[in-house]
Amino acid sequence: MGYDAKFRVWRGDIDGGELHDFTVQVNEGEVVLDIIHRLQATQAPDLAVRWNCKAGKCGSCSAEVNGRPRLLCMTRMSTFQPDELITVTPMRTFPVIRDLVTDVSFNYQKAREIPSFTPPEDLKPGDYRMQQVDVERSQEFRKCIECFLCQDTCHVVRDHEENKESFAGPRFLMRIAELEMHPLDVADRRDLAQEEQGLGLCNITKCCTEVCPEHIKITDNALIPMKERVADKKYDPLVWLGNKLFRR
């Protein structure tokens, strides 16, 4: 059964904007992205929204619904009461381009700062077989669709522009962890994570894990193990002794 919903949508650009109220038809089985498309078709033809697959797989339609980072195409209208006011705003952590579209290039910059997979130089194809347990460990992280909702929600950067330079965010700390745990990667990424990409700023609030549409256990399976690896190196008695003797 269809009904009319109350929507409040942020409209504007980098110079500012405001929330606009709409009353819009909702049909059974629809998601928030359907309603935004109906607004474009009937009341606001120039409303900007980024989307592509409408199947929760491209990671483009990230925004905030009632203040929660969400994929618009995976947020069912049936999760709201028919008389509930639904507010849709752009991701808060990134600069807005227009309406619901944000500039997420911060994330591409962080991705570029991570050295790529580094296997041993003399390893030939077929020389090594990975154990299933190692395959599965990195497989979880590779489900990431780069929606950047975890980056948007993490309090370290959400309202702290000044932290952005020194913090890669959960998605990219997870990428470092994925490579660090890879049995064939010979690069030591622990100093990179701790000293250059801000692993120490993460205080394990797990908000990133809560909003991940792929249900990746970012905190438990990537960030905490990475912190443990950093601690192992720092407090390893042999490393400590080596630092004392040779790095004076």
Q: Determine if 156 is a binding residue for ligand F3S (CB under 6 A).
A: yes
The whole-angstrom separation of Cα 172 and Cα 3 is 42
Contact region for ligand FES (CB under 6 A) — 15-23, 51-59, 113-121, 153-161? 51-59
Work out whether 147 is an interface residue with ligand F3S (CB under 6 A): no
* Least distance from ligand SF4 to the Cβ atom of residue 219, Å: 11
DSSP one-letter string for 59-114: ---EEEETTEEEEGGG-BGGGS-TT-EEEEE--SSS-EEETTEE--HHHHHHHHTS
**158 forms part of the interface with ligand F3S (CB under 6 A):** no
Q: For the purposes of burial, counting CB atoms within 10 Å of the CB of 142, is it exposed (0-12), middle (13-18) or buried (19 or more)?
A: exposed
Count of residues interacting with ligand SF4 (CB under 6 A): 14
Buried b or exposed e, range 15-27, using 16+ CB within 10 angstroms: eeeeebebebebe
- State both tokens at 99: 């309406």
Determine, following the binding rule CB under 6 A, whether residue 92 of this chain makes contact with ligand FES. no
Question: What is the C-alpha separation between 220 and 42, in angstroms, rounded?
Answer: 45
Of 6, 92, 206, 233, the one binding ligand F3S by CB under 6 A: 206
Q: Which of residues 167-206 bind ligand SF4 (CB under 6 A)?
A: 171
| Residues 231, 248: Cα–Cα separation, whole Å | 21
Q: Which of 9, 202, 222, 226 binds ligand F3S (CB under 6 A)?
A: 202
Q: Could you identify the residue written with the tokens 């309406």?
A: 99
Task: Kindly tell me which residue out of 26, 73, 100, 193 binds ligand FES, with binding defined by CB under 6 A.
Answer: 73
Half-sphere exposure of 83 (CA within 13 A, CB side): 0
Chosen residue from 25, 43, 52, 78 binding ligand FES by CB under 6 A:
52
The reply on whether position 216 binds ligand SF4 by CB under 6 A is yes
| Contact indicator for 67, 8 with CB cutoff of 8 Å | no
Residue from 22, 36, 38, 51 in contact with ligand FES (CB under 6 A): 51
Interaction partner, residue 149 (ligand F3S, ligand SF4, ligand FES, none; CB < 5-8 Å by kind): ligand SF4
Can you tell me which of 9, 35, 39, 208 binds ligand F3S, judged by CB under 6 A? 208
Q: Given the rule CB under 6 A, which residues bind ligand SF4?
A: 144-150, 171, 211-214, 216, 218
